Amino acid sequence: MRMLSLYSIKGGVGKTASAVNLAAEAANHGLRVLLWDLDPQAATTFYLKIKPRIRGGVNKLVKGKSSFDKVIRSTAMPNLDVLPASLESRSLDQLLEKRGTSHLRQMLHEVRNDYDLIVLDCPPTLSHLSENMFTSADALLVPLVPTTLSLRTLDQLQSFLDDEDLACPVWPFVTLADRRRTMHRDIMDTLGAQWPLRMSTVIPAASAVERMGVERAPLCSFAPHSPANRAYQALWKELHQRLGIA
């Protein structure tokens, strides 16, 4: 089982759309995928038409008193399941504070043989939850809008990981890119020199991605031939190779 976290300190960078589309691509390629919505806003849960409710509550799930079988939900896509979020998920950070920094992976031990890939959609915070995620995920896939503020938060993330001696790899990738903008082009041209683990695929700014909230589905379901979906297909191909999933 491999674990990939979609994470950024900065909001509004396409994190949730990327989590949903990449999880869908992995499922389309025959992998058994669990997409865990860790954000109390529950946008991933909404996109996939799942009720924002955790049966038994977050508290019982963290304490191991509730089975994952009771909370995981299937989706309309074969091979893709969701562990939903709700407003109650906001207590997850406080609950994890009492259980160390590796409890998230311990919680997932129950389903380690049920899935080939677990994708985490994380809230844009530095917290006990994110520290648990840093010690659990095989890599942090960080969406980056090619702007100064987005670059700054990427530097802040790496500085935090270095200061805390956390070895989780950071794999930035560009989202919401508009090649008509000089700043976007300049940042994309120089990003690889500073971040050698950057993914080469660029996700364009596209109305099809905005429509996900209306269609409540990944791009492959309603806009399979769109440039944005083709970009996510290419990004998944890169990720598949890096993760080394058979």
Q: Where are the beta strands (DSSP E) in 27-169?
A: 33-37, 73-74, 80-83, 117-121, 139-144
pLDDT in tens, 44-61: 999 999 998 887 778 888
pLDDT in tens, 145-181: 999 999 999 999 999 999 999 999 999 999 999 999 9
> What's the rounded Cα separation, in Å, for the pair 108 and 89?
16
pLDDT of residue 223: 98
Is residue 237 a contact partner of residue 229, using CB atoms and an 8 Å limit?
no
- Please determine, looking at this structure, whether the domain spanning 2-233 carries the CATH number 3.40.50.300: yes
Query: Phi/psi at 186 (nearest 5 deg)?
Result: -65, -45
**Burial per residue of 39-55, b for 16 or more beta-carbon CB atoms within 10 angstroms, e otherwise:** bbbbbbbbbbebebbbe
pLDDT of residue 106: 83
> What's the rounded Cα separation, in Å, for the pair 198 and 144?
10
Global pTM value: 0.94
> What's the rounded Cα separation, in Å, for the pair 225 and 227?
7
Is residue 148 a contact partner of residue 43, using CB atoms and an 8 Å limit?
no
> What's the rounded Cα separation, in Å, for the pair 66 and 95?
15
Walk along the chain (246 residues) and give the pLDDT tens digit of each residue.
999 999 999 999 999 999 999 999 999 999 999 999 999 889 999 999 999 888 777 888 887 777 888 899 999 999 999 999 877 677 777 777 777 677 788 888 889 899 999 999 999 988 888 888 999 999 999 999 999 999 999 999 999 999 999 999 999 999 999 999 999 999 999 998 889 999 999 999 999 999 999 999 999 999 999 999 999 999 999 999 999 987
pLDDT of residue 62: 82
* Closest C-alpha among 3, 76, 77 to residue 36: 3
**Burial per residue of 160-195, b for 16 or more beta-carbon CB atoms within 10 angstroms, e otherwise:** ebeeeeeeeebbbbbbbbeeeeeebeebbeebeeeb
> What's the rounded Cα separation, in Å, for the pair 217 and 118?
19
Q: Which two tokens stand for residue 12?
A: 């509004």
For the chain, what is the largest distance between any 2 Cα atoms, rounded to a whole number of angstroms?
Answer: 53
pLDDT of residue 108: 86
